[in-house]
Structure 1
Amino acid sequence: MNARSVPAAKRPPGGPVLQGDVTRALEIAFFEELAAVGYGRLSIEAVARRAGAGKAAVYRRWPSKQAMTAELASQAALAYVRAPDMGNLHDDVAQFVRDTMAALSHPLASRIVPDLLAETTRNEELAEALLAGIRTPRRENAARILHRAIERGELPADADIELGLDFLVSPTYWRLAVIRTPVDDDYVERLTAKIIAAMKA
């Protein structure tokens, strides 16, 4: 979701704002507000105000800021990184790495992801909601890359899927979200080669 590229919905003269437009405006406002103030200071009132809507519009869609965060963060995370089927393991891994880099490099995500991870250490309910909505489905989705590679004979039948999934995601997250070091195409190729070598070891 590129919140910067989509303007908030405005009420046209003499007509109502469509419900879909209100929902979209609230989604954009949520991510912008979360990036600006963090989860701890996030409020329904501020999201509604940023979207040009009333609090009731938020509560009709989400019962709380935690429910709003869990649903919208999950939707955004799952939309950004998919399991590409490029026909071979190298290209699948390389595209997955590029997609992950694009997601973590997004100007909103680069502020939101570290904040939510920190918040999950203090908020067990939020942690459980995000694990269920993001970690589990994303790992299941990424596992398709490895299962396809096994079917094509590119990985051994007894390949460690769980560890392979860690190889797919962890180096990119460390590089961009933790040490915040720039990447380029050469880095993608070198990382792809190392990930595949580790999976085959």
Structure 2
Amino acid sequence: MSATPAAPRRRGAVRTEELLQTTLDLAAEVGYAGLSIEAISRRAGVGKHTVYRRWPSLPALLLDALSRVWQSDLDYRDTGDLRADLREQFVRSGTALASPPIGPVYRAIIAEAQADETLRAALHERFLANVEKSTLARITRARQRGELAPDLNLEFAAEVLCGTLYYRHLLSTRPVDDEAIDALIDLVLTAHAPRR
């Protein structure tokens, strides 16, 4: 009797990863305006049906590609120094959001999501909520260590920290530079320092 078909599933997973990477590579070259399922399938050397079997639309594919990069490359470190860890993450996030492929693709998905409730919900659940959760996890550990006031509303603090940076990137012409990042961290940490 033959073995279970584990190898084809592994090939499928490998193909999915290849398509995600191809999407990011092409986005970096041509920007959102040059992206299409057809262009991605041509670059990957597969038929359009291979892409559509995995993703029902271009925004869904882009959301998966961005989530993959964000989760693998932009996670918080925990060095024991909250300020340093927040600063490192925000600098890395700021650079990613200002640069291809993440920056232009993310802005395009945000624009698409305003007219597509399903995409908007998916964007929040799979991307924005994860950003907030990782920030919440990091500041929760800091409060447990006594670095933050015990009565701090952690969910709101995480929303303020993340939301300020995303607002600047998406809706403002002001930069997310070292000065802005330091001011934001100072504002939150000073306001919520433990009482001595």
Fold-level similarity (TM above 0.5): yes
Q: CA deviation at 1:22?
A: 4.8
Alignment equivalent of 1:36, drawn from 9, 31, 35? 31
Q: In structure 2, how many angstroms separate the alpha carbons of the residues matched to 1:43 and 1:175? A: 28
Contact 2:168–2:174 (8 Å) recurs in 1: yes
Match of 1:155 in 2: 148
Aligned-pair CA distance for 1:148: 1.0
- Partner of residue 89, structure 2: 96
Q: 2:135 corresponds to which letter in structure 1? A: A
Which residue of the partner structure matches residue 11 of structure 1? Answer: none
Matched residue SS, 1:171: helix
Quick one: percent identity of the two aligned structures? 29
1:116-127 equivalences in 2 (<5 Å): 116-127=109-120
How far apart are residue 111 of structure 1 and its match?
Answer: 1.0
User: Aligned-pair distance for 1:85?
Assistant: 0.5
Q: Is the 8 A contact 2:78 2:138 kept in 1?
A: yes
- What is the aligned counterpart of 2:67 among 66, 74, 81? 74
Structure 2 gap ranges (5+): 1-10
Q: TM-score, normalised by structure 1?
A: 0.74
Match of 1:151, as an amino acid?
Q
Cα distance in 1 between the residues matched to 2:27 and 2:84: 36
Gaps of 5+ in 1: 1-17
Give me the TM-score of the superposition, normalised by structure 2: 0.75
Which deviations, in whole Å up to 9, do the C-alpha atoms of 1:149-171 show, x marking residues without a partner?
A: 11111112221112211232123
Is this contact kept in 1: 2:94–2:177, CA < 8 A? no
What is the CA distance between 1:59 and its match in structure 2? Answer: 3.2
Matched pairs, number: 182
Matches of 2:122 and 2:181, distance apart in 1: 31
Aligned to 2:165: 172
